[in-house]
Amino acid sequence: MFDVQPMELLVLGAVAVMVIPPKDLPKAMRFAGYWVGRARGVARQFRSGFDSMVREAELAELQKQWAEENARIMAEHPMPAIAQLEPEPLAIEDSTMEAAEFDAPVMLEKPAIRDAGEASADLADKPKPKRKPRAKPVPSE
């Protein structure tokens, strides 16, 4: 956006040293850095907004092309009616799996269900682990 060459920066720095007193120079550089950062932020936000608009326009164009291509393919190869299509039955005799493998899983045990009071009582009965004593500092002589 703004093209600043290294030689121009040197000239600006020399002018700043001559015009601004040395004790105010750090404050002036901080002020300039703050505003340069704000300008970069605004430029970045503008660029990201512009990029997102371009990306959305490209996606809309691609969707339009995809819809046209899909319509062309569907016109060339029409699908048969769904009522005419019947799935082939699975023949267990033809497959290598036996009939028992097609059965649903069976629950062998009934799950144990506890209410919330019992669960908290179980936790309260457990002893708490003992803390390790802290090392005492050795007095210096």
pLDDT in tens, 118-141: 556 556 666 677 777 777 777 776
CA distances from 18 to 11, 30, 111 (A): 11, 18, 85
Specify if 60 maps to a domain. yes
The pLDDT tens digits of the residues spanning 3-33 come to: 778 888 788 888 888 888 888 888 988 998 8
Examine the pLDDT at 96 and tell me if it is beyond 70.
Answer: no
Specify if 17 maps to a domain. no
**Domain around 45:** 22-77
- What distance in Å separates the CA atoms of residue 10 and residue 16, rounded to the nearest whole number? 10
Specify if 62 maps to a domain. yes
Q: Return the biggest CA–CA distance within the chain.
A: 99
Number of domains in the chain: 1
- What distance in Å separates the CA atoms of residue 49 and residue 43, rounded to the nearest whole number? 10
Cα angle 59-63-65, degrees, rounded to a multiple of 5 = 115
Specify if 33 maps to a domain. yes
Specify if 106 maps to a domain. no
How far is the first Cα of the chain from the last one, in angstroms, to the nearest whole number?
68
